[in-house]
């Protein structure tokens, strides 16, 4: 039986569903891009790169980190839009890896090291609308696309959202959300974020997301599509010039898994069997999930104490460069376990539930403080272990410094 999917938004519920799916995708894409960045070597002592090549490789990693941070901005912007139309912020997503048919993108959503395959997949995610996605899927990725899905790229998904907002905003009272829930640049360090209160501001917000992703005909070098395309070109050019001696990517597994949690798709990943590495990966996941819960609280609870709110916002954003980035880098240099000889692990970015903080400000800050104290204790323990790489000591110190934002 052939299914017929919707190609336009007809109701508020349709719009909330698409925006929630956009949240899942933005979150998942950010993790995929971060994983590729973590996999790039950062010192000539790791072998396979010269001093001159190291500068190129570090630039590639920096570009991937930039795109990942912009995906988190897109997630925050989608939260503002959801709040504005009567929905609520949502950060849950399926665990990695995802089959190619989970989303209408018709591409798998996975965690894998930097390389030709991952970069071509990233390009497809951000493909501009003027490029034939079916031709790209077949010629570059080896997939044959179907005609059943609603959208083929992230840009096309947002195009549907924009059309839905325009249509519904002209025929109904669409923007019924509490304006107090709108988060702007005075609170969170995303200079381009738009507070959404009406149709015009919503369309403006979506336009900024699309320009950063697929870009316009005039700025393809600066958008995600252009960045990924140039990265792939530079990588392939360096391979052509240097030959097999050029090895800039760590020998990491794809789709690492810390815990097997039922049939939540992560059971098709690579289970980390080294106990110490698994403990560090578990701490990574717990800190990452706490950061998401804090961000969700900022976007979901009005009438907060402004000083505390500002501190929590700074804490949530600071977790990424001070903990997530160096901890992910460390995991990419730690053994995955006896099942994977010579291979290193990586962060799993695993999630099991959409566990949100209570709306009570007192209770929420109490829960955050208790959970973060657990993270401090666990980081101190792993950083003092004889197997611990030196970078974990720096991460442990950063975790303790972050506590100041929560006092």
Please enumerate in sequence order all residues whose Cβ is within 8 A of that of 218, keeping only pairs 6 or more positions apart, or say none: none
Co-location of 226 and 313 in the same domain: no
Closest Cα partner for 190 from 301, 79, 37?
79
CATH of residue 281: 1.20.1260.10
pLDDT of amino acid 131:
54
Give the pTM. Answer: 0.92
**83-87, 271-275, 304-308: segment of lowest average pLDDT:** 304-308
Q: What is the SS3 assignment for 393? A: helix
Q: Are residues 238 and 260 in the same domain?
A: no
Q: What is the mean pLDDT of the chain?
A: 88
Same domain, 141 and 114: yes
The answer to which of 152-156, 262-266, 322-326, 389-393 has the lowest mean pLDDT is 262-266
User: What tens digit of pLDDT does each residue of 182-238 get?
Assistant: 999 999 989 899 999 999 999 999 999 988 876 655 556 779 999 999 999 999 999
Residues 296 and 204 in one domain: no
Same domain as 304, residue 194:
no
Assess contact for 238 and 231: CB atoms under 8 A: no
Nearest to 221 by CA among 43, 63, 36, 15: 63
* Mean pLDDT in residue range 30-47: 97
- Residues 76 and 11 placed together within one structural domain of the fold: yes
- 94 — pLDDT class (breaks 50, 70, 90): confident
Q: Are residues 68 and 196 in the same domain?
A: yes
Same-domain status, 116 and 59: yes
Q: Are residues 23 and 1 in the same domain?
A: yes
In DSSP notation, 179-228 reads GGG---TTTSS-TT-----SHHHHHHHHHHHHHHHT--TT-TTTSHHHHH
Residue 96 has pLDDT above 60, yes or no: yes
How far is the C-alpha of 322 from the C-alpha of 230, rounded, in Å?
Answer: 28
Picking from 250, 268, 292, the residue at the C-terminal end of a domain is 250
316-359 residue pLDDT tens: 999 999 999 999 999 999 999 999 999 999 999 998 777 889 88
Per-residue pLDDT for 148 more than 60? Answer: no
Query: Domain range spanning residue 44?
Result: 1-250
pLDDT attached to residue 389? 87
Instruction: Answer left, alpha or beta for residue 270, where phi above 0 means left and psi between -120 and 50 means alpha.
Output: beta
Whether residue 145 is predicted with pLDDT greater than 50 in this model: the reply is no
Residue 38 has pLDDT above 90, yes or no: yes
- End-of-domain residue from the set 228, 250, 272: 250
Asked whether residue 198 falls in the same domain as residue 328, the answer is no
My answer on whether 240 and 274 are in the same domain is: no
> Of all residues in the chain, what percent carry a pLDDT higher than 90?
69
Q: Which helix (H) or strand (E) holds 308?
A: helix 306-319
Q: Which of 219, 250, 281 lies at the terminal end of a domain, its last residue?
A: 250
Assess whether 150 and 200 both reside in one domain. yes
Per-residue pLDDT, 5: 47
pLDDT confidence of residue 137: 53
Q: What mean pLDDT is predicted for residues 363-372? A: 95
State the pLDDT at residue 1.
38
Residue 4: the pLDDT is 43
Rounded to 10 degrees, the C-alpha dihedral 87/164/155/65 comes to -20
- 157 has a pLDDT exceeding 50: yes
Closest CA to 361 of 372, 369, 352: 369
In total, how many domains does the chain have? 2
What pLDDT does 178 receive?
94
């Amino acid at each position: 039986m052939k299914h017929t999917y919707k190609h336009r938004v007809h109701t508020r519920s349709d719009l909330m569903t698409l925006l929630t799916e956009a949240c899942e995708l933005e979150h998942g894409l950010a993790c995929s891009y971060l994983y590729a960045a973590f996999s790039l070597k950062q010192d000539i002592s790791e072998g396979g790169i010269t001093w001159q090549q190291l500068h190129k490789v570090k630039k590639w990693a920096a570009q991937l980190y930039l795109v990942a941070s912009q995906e988190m901005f897109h997630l925050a912007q989608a939260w503002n839009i959801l709040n504005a139309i009567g929905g609520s912020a949502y950060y849950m997503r399926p665990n990695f890896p995802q089959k190619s048919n989970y989303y209408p993108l018709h591409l798998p959503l996975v965690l894998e090291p930097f390389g030709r395959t991952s970069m071509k997949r990233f390009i497809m995610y951000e493909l501009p609308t003027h490029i034939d996605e079916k031709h790209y899927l077949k010629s570059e990725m080896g997939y044959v696309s179907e005609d059943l899905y609603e959208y083929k790229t992230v840009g096309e998904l947002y195009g549907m959202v924009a059309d839905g907002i325009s249509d519904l905003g002209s025929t109904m009272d669409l923007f019924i959300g509490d304006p107090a829930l709108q988060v702007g640049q005075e609170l969170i360090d995303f200079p381009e974020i738009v507070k959404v209160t009406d149709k015009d501001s919503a369309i403006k917000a979506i336009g900024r997301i699309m320009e950063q992703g697929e870009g316009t005909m005039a700025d393809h070098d600066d958008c995600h599509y252009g960045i990924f395309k140039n990265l792939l070109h530079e990588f392939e050019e360096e391979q052509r010039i240097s030959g097999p001696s050029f090895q800039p990517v760590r020998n990491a597994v794809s789709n690492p898994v810390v815990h097997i949690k039922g049939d939540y798709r992560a059971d098709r990943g690579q289970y980390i069997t080294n106990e110490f590495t698994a403990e560090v990966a578990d701490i990574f996941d717990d800190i990452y999930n706490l950061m998401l819960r804090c961000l969700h609280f900022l976007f979901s609870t009005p009438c907060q104490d402004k000083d505390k709110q500002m501190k929590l916002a700074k804490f949530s954003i600071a977790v990424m460069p001070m903990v997530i980035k160096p901890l992910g880098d460390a995991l990419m240099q730690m053994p995955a376990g006896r099942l994977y000889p010579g291979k290193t692990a990586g962060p799993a970015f695993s999630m099991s539930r959409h566990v949100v903080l209570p709306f009570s400000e007192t209770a929420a800050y109490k829960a955050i403080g208790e959970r973060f104290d657990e993270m401090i204790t666990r980081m101190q323990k792993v950083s003092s272990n004889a197997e611990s790489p030196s970078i974990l000591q720096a991460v442990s110190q950063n975790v303790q410094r972050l506590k100041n934002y929560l006092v």
